[in-house]
Amino acid sequence: MQPIKCAVIGVGHLGKYHAEKYAASKESELVAVCDTNYTRTQEIANHHHVAAFSDYHALLGLVTAVSIVTPTTSHHTIAKFFLSQGVHVFVEKPMTMTVEEADELINISEKNNLVLQVGHIERFNPAIVACKPLIQNPTYIETQRLSPFNPRCLEVNVVLDLMIHDIDLIKHIVPAKITEIHATGASIITNDIDIANARIQFDNGCIANLNASRVSHVTERNIKIYHQKSYIFADLKDRTLLTFQKNNHEMHDVLNTTHPVENYDALHDELTAFLHAIKTQTKPLISGVDGRTNLSIALAITHHIEKKIKLAEFA
């Protein structure tokens, strides 16, 4: 089968790597890149010896699939254009700004039989892949996702930018319905939520406690998954995996085990999964419906926090 003709729209911090993966893969052919910043698009296009565009409409007829790696405010308009014109779409997280926009993209992709995959890359993190078979029936989950302040991606709050990765993971890990959400947060540097905590209750009794900050002095990404008599610690940044198990022979003893984690490229695997779904005409691992669910939870958390911030203003 011929390589799939791909283009990347938005070749900033992350889009540059999308272009690299398509250019390097035997499954795809990078035919063009597009960015409203023409200097940037030319720089990346020259590097890969492909066409450069500053208007994504010009890609029509040249591509079978696109990656949309622009700021979230433009995801819906660009994805709608390509899905309506018969082009498969990989769109970065968060999928769109609103649930209605996400629904519209899902409907068009289904009607036109097109793959719509959303960029929840942590599912491809080797530490998560290695930890998945060890998870049974968690009773409690804690996640920590802290980043130093960065002026990129400020069009959305920290819940939609960072916490949404962990929302995707806990939905993947806990096979149950969400019954309650409590959340708090604060704006520190921007006028939007920069730091957030959410407590999510599932109908099987499991509780997930999620922390996200974009105003930290350190970078941390980890998840702790507690079971009866054991827990798993996965470091998603350093890609390490530890388990702590109660020693059945000693009352207060705990057995620690370090598990091997393969060191592979999560973005390569994520985009290979997208290309595979196109080739095999199958549902992608992280579909538009998954992206929409994650977005709706992130928006519910945002709503809780904003309601509390408003009340605090009147206190």
Q: Which residues are near ligand NAD by CB under 6 A?
A: 9-15, 34-37, 40, 56, 69-72, 74, 92-93, 119, 121, 152-153, 161
For residue 252, report the phi and psi dihedrals to the nearest 5 degrees: -115, 35
Residue 131 to residue 114: CA distance in whole angstroms: 31
Q: How far is the CB of 231 from ligand NAD (least distance, A)?
A: 26
Question: Phi-psi region for residue 177, left (φ > 0), alpha (ψ -120 to 50) or beta?
Answer: beta
Q: Which two tokens stand for residue 42?
A: 């030319």
CB closer to ligand NAD out of 104 and 230: 104
CB closer to ligand NAD out of 95 and 206: 95
CB closer to ligand NAD out of 35 and 290: 35
3-class DSSP assignment, residue 190: coil
Place of tokens 């790597």: 17
CB closer to ligand NAD out of 5 and 165: 165
Q: In 10 A of CB 92, how many CB atoms?
A: 22
Q: How far is the CB of 105 from ligand NAD (least distance, A)?
A: 14
Query: Which positions ≥6 away from 238 have C-beta within 8 Å?
Result: none
**DSSP structure string for 206-231:** -EEEEEEESS-SS-EEEEEEEETTEE
Q: How far is the CB of 136 from ligand NAD (least distance, A)?
A: 28
Residue type, 80: K
3-class DSSP assignment, residue 46: helix
Name the residue whose CB lies closest to ligand NAD.
12
Q: What is the DSSP secondary structure assignment for residue 249, as one 8-state letter?
A: T
CB closer to ligand NAD out of 41 and 64: 41
Q: How far is the CB of 87 from ligand NAD (least distance, A)?
A: 15
CB closer to ligand NAD out of 52 and 121: 121
Q: How far is the CB of 257 from ligand NAD (least distance, A)?
A: 29
Q: How far is the CB of 26 from ligand NAD (least distance, A)?
A: 24
Q: How far is the CB of 1 from ligand NAD (least distance, A)?
A: 28
Dihedral sign for Cα 174, 75, 46, 14, please.
Answer: negative
CB closer to ligand NAD out of 17 and 244: 17
Give first-to-last CA distance, the chain, whole Å.
Answer: 65
Report whether 185 contacts 159 (CB < 8 A): yes
